[in-house]
Amino acid sequence: AQTVTQSQPEMSVQEAETVTLSCTYDTSESNYYLFWYKQPPSRQMILVIRQEAYKQQNATENRFSVNFQKAAKSFSLKISDSQLGDTAMYFCASMEYGNKLVFGAGTILRVKS
């Protein structure tokens, strides 16, 4: 069975600084996908970044990038130049091909001015 672990319940960062959110996962499949979702106070779920397991290159979306370590089953999210609007709960999730999304417990990120 898939599992996703986020070991940081809460984090804070100063505006313009860089922060890294941790995520580890477990799966027995070789074909799977990993995601980071953002849920701001409005509670809308927003896809931040996606990584296909077969791709070795780390995904990047503007200020957001991941460090995908397949052997270690680690998938951390780095947010550069943090902005106040980045304040949200961040969920790491995995999906085996054709299966359901499994979410981690989430990390509340607060960006301070």
Partner 1 sequence: GAVVSQHPSRVICKSGTSVKIECRSLDFQATTMFWYRQFPKKSLMLMATSNEGSKATYEQGVEKDKFLINHASLTLSTLTVTSAHPEDSSFYICSAVDRIDQPQHFGDGTRLSIL
The residue ranges that bind partner 1 (CB under 8 A) are 33, 35, 42-45, 47, 50, 89, 91, 97-98, 100-101, 103-106, 108
First to last CA, the chain: 41
- For residue 93, the surrounding DSSP H or E stretch is strand 88-96
Is the Cβ of residue 85 or residue 98 nearer to partner 1 in the bound state? 98
Check: CB of residue 39 under 8 Å from CB of residue 46. Answer: yes
The CB density around residue 36, as the number of other CB atoms within 10 Å, is 26
State which residue, 16 or 47, has the beta carbon closest to partner 1: 47
CA distance 29 to 51: 15
Quote the least distance from Cβ 11 to partner 1, whole Å: 14
The smaller minimum CB distance to partner 1, of residues 18 and 62, is found at 62
Least separation in angstroms between residue 60's CB and partner 1 is 16
